[in-house]
Structure 1
Amino acid sequence: MLLTVDIGNTTVAVAGFVGERPAFLRRLPAGREEGPRDWAAALRALLAGAGPFRGAALSSVVPALTGPVADALACVTGGRVLTVGRDTPTGLPLGDYDGAALGMDRVVDCVAALARYAPPLAVFDMGTATTLSVVDREGVFRGGMILAGLSLSLDALSARAAQLPPVTLSPPEGLVGTDTERCMRYGAIYGAAGAVEGIAARLEEQFGPLTVVLTGGNGAYVRPLLRIPVVWEPMLTHLGLRELWLRQEP
């Protein structure tokens, strides 16, 4: 079994693959300032009953966690651990994009999307932040956008507006909110859906007809509301990590 690990700002998502088939997806909170030994113990508890493991592939947008989790994965799997970074040959040309601060999760998403769909592509990853990654017809990464994620937007509203309460995301029951909580929740979710639709339309004016790929935990709230064709790939980052690990397998 191969492990793929996506370290985000909120969670550490761990998936196991048996061949091409994802066997499970489990999560740990990302806000743990612990060393490799503690992470290894947490991973062993999380993965109880799974294995054996042939190795792991890891991407991270939290530098402080990258090293400890990678070391823990080496202990837990006893195999090769690929940490996707600037020097990893991904096969994705960056063109004119300044890749110095490019999140590797966006690169991994594009690798997975290109392995499945013909470009041009627009990849929306809806997590703590919503990222858009654009790949042109020649398979070159052209850049994209970074927007505040749904939960982050709601948290900012409740923190900065005295009369707005904390709100937990859940699917909308209608279009027009009938109380403050629903107004905030509907605004975040329908606003995100409108952003995806509007941005995709503008991208098509520049790049021509494209495939819109949607992923990320918050994408599940937005997907049912979209009025444009999209491909739903909830495990896109993990599929890309598996792809990169296999490409570098000895």
Structure 2
Amino acid sequence: MILAIDIGNTNIVLGCMDGPNCVFVERLSTVRTKTELEYALDLKNVLDLYHIKRSDIEGGIISSVVPQITTVAKIAVEKIIRKEVLVVGAGIKTGLNIRIDNPAQLGSDLVVDSVAGIAEYPVPLLIFDLGTANTVCVIDENKNYIGGMIYPGIGVSLDSLTANASQLGGISLEAPEHIIGKNTAECMKSGTIYSSAAAIDGIIDRLSEELHGDVTVVATGGLAEKIVLHCRRKIVLDNDLLLKGLAVIYRKNRR
């Protein structure tokens, strides 16, 4: 069993992978001011909650898009499991063939998503990761990462709307009963949910044309479940995609 952790701008996703099976998945808030000890205690509490013994964990792996806490998190994990922890980055074997202008610029989360996608699904492949930022990974028929998209996440867009429109307050992200809203809150919910779903459908259409045919589409990320339900294109929801990718990369680098 390995401990897999993905550090995002808003949440830290962590779970244990036992072969291809995900034993558990949990989310913690990403707090840039926490110390190694504080993160270690958070991790210990999660492992205790699921009755995971330290002796059951053979190692760990981290991907991170928040450089200022990557080392802190690595040390915290090693305090708890007392095993070597890999960090996805320079020197780590991924097996991903990256065909972009500067492969070093590709975020570790996108690398991990792509590795998992290629291992799990037919190509060509589009992977939507819906979080603080929405990202799209494009994998061609030869399993090459050929590029993608980055655009504002749903929460970022909604925060911007409420911050800049004085009469609009905060809302929860649940779809209203009707697409045509009957009050301000319903209008905001409908606009947020359905515009996001329509954007995904439109992006799939355009990228399918670029790839000259049918594509497999996978969605993951903290907000994917709320949006994919309302899309019209066939999309596979895989909430464990990042952890699966981390497990694949760990195995590639195991001594």
Please say whether Structure 1 and Structure 2 have the same fold, judged by a TM-score greater than 0.5: yes
Residue of 214, 221, 231 corresponding to 1:216: 221
Q: Deviations over 1:150-187 (max 9, x none)?
A: 11111110001111111221233221111111211211
Which deviates more from structure 2 when the two are superposed, residues 127-136 or residues 27-36? 27-36
Q: Please list, as runs of the form range in 1=range in 2, the aligned pairs for 1:181-196 lying within 5 A after superposition.
A: 181-196=185-200
Give the match for residue 40 of structure 1.
Answer: 40
Q: Deviations over 1:48-80 (max 9, x none)?
A: 122232111110111111000011111111122
Secondary structure of 1:183's match? Answer: helix
Secondary structure of 2:98's match? Answer: coil
Secondary structure of 1:106's match? Answer: helix
- State the distance in 2 between where 1:86 and 1:160 align: 40
- State the distance in 1 between where 2:100 and 2:16 align: 35
State the AA in 1 paired with 2:39. Answer: W
Q: Deviations over 1:1-58 (max 9, x none)?
A: 3111010111111111223211111121102412222221221122212223211111
Q: Please list, as runs of the form range in 1=range in 2, the aligned pairs for 1:229-248 lying within 5 A after superposition.
A: 229-248=234-253
Instruction: Assess if the C-alpha contact under 8 Å between 1:135 and 1:141 holds in 2.
Output: yes
State the AA in 1 paired with 2:72. Answer: P
Q: Deviations over 1:97-151 (max 9, x none)?
A: 3233321101100000000112111100001111011011111111111111111
- The structure with higher relative contact order (CA 8 Å, sep 6+) is 2
Question: In the alignment, is residue 9 of structure 1 matched against residue 13 of structure 2?
Answer: no
- State the distance in 1 between where 2:86 and 2:104 align: 20
- State the distance in 2 between where 1:85 and 1:157 align: 35
- State the distance in 1 between where 2:80 and 2:59 align: 9
Which deviates more from structure 2 when the two are superposed, residues 114-123 or residues 172-181? 172-181
Distance 1:3 1:38, change over 3 A: same
Give the match for residue 91 of structure 1.
Answer: 95
State the AA in 2 paired with 1:121. Answer: L
Paired residues, number: 250
State the AA in 2 paired with 1:28. Answer: L
Which runs of structure 1 show a deviation greater than 6 angstroms over 4 or more consecutive aligned residues?
Answer: none
RMSD across aligned positions (CA): 1.3
Give the match for residue 51 of structure 1.
Answer: 53
Secondary structure of 1:234's match? Answer: coil
Secondary structure of 1:17's match? Answer: strand
Unmatched 5+ stretches in structure 2:
none
- State the distance in 1 between where 2:227 and 2:92 align: 32
Instruction: Assess if the C-alpha contact under 8 Å between 1:54 and 1:78 holds in 2.
Output: no
- State the distance in 1 between where 2:91 and 2:14 align: 23
**Structure 1 residue 206, shift from structure 2 partner:** 1.2
State the AA in 2 paired with 1:224. Answer: L
Q: Please list, as runs of the form range in 1=range in 2, the aligned pairs for 1:1-250 lying within 5 A after superposition.
A: 1-48=1-48, 49-52=51-54, 53-207=57-211, 208-250=213-255
Percent sequence identity over aligned pairs: 37
**Structure 1 residue 228, shift from structure 2 partner:** 1.1
Secondary structure of 2:114's match? Answer: helix
- State the distance in 1 between where 2:42 and 2:235 align: 36
Instruction: Assess if the C-alpha contact under 8 Å between 1:126 and 1:215 holds in 2.
Output: yes
Instruction: Assess if the C-alpha contact under 8 Å between 1:70 and 1:81 holds in 2.
Output: yes
- State the distance in 2 between where 1:206 and 1:56 align: 38
